[in-house]
Amino acid sequence: MTINQISVFLENKSGRLAEVTRLLGDGGVNLRALTIADTADFGILRLIADDLNKALKILEDGGFTARVTEVIGVEVSDKPGGLAKVLDIFSKRGVNIEYIYASLERNKENAIIIFKVEDIDKGTKVLEENKFKIVSTW
């Protein structure tokens, strides 16, 4: 079970992030999770939208470059040490994490953490074997 994440390449200048979120909002797309990484010249906005195809169309029509990547959404206990449990298991099982970020929402008493791992199949298998709830939609 994976989630499709959209990566949007942005010029690192004032207003570009606002423009993307405004376009998606005006188009009726709800964001479930997001993060942004930047350099001096550009940024990469990574987001999970409630409607992947609609979001991609809006971004393309708005002149933005976007691509889709598979990530894993995991329910993690929203208590001290909750995230550490998942990270420890990944470490012990040799799952390389490329990046993580948190969802904008919670699911009951759990936080939803988004993981981009080097080997999606291995990461998913390790989580399932250790009885973590993998989230594909919310």
Domain end residue (candidates: 30, 53, 69)? 69
pLDDT digits (tens, 9 = 90+) for 44-63: 999 999 999 999 999 999 99
Q: Look up residue 30 and give its DSSP letter.
A: P
Residue 106 confidence (pLDDT): 67
Instruction: Please check whether residues 14 and 65 belong to one and the same domain.
Output: yes
- With a CB cutoff of 8 Å and minimum separation 6, the contacts of 78 are 106, 109, 110, 111
CATH number at residue 116: 3.30.70.260
Residue 45 lies in domain: 3-69
Instruction: Please check whether residues 78 and 116 belong to one and the same domain.
Output: yes
CATH number at residue 41: 3.30.2130.10
Neighbours of 67 (CB within 10 A): 11
Instruction: Please check whether residues 16 and 58 belong to one and the same domain.
Output: yes
In this structure, which amino acid lies at residue 74? V
Q: Which residue do the tokens 């949007």 mark?
A: 8
**pTM for this predicted structure:** 0.89
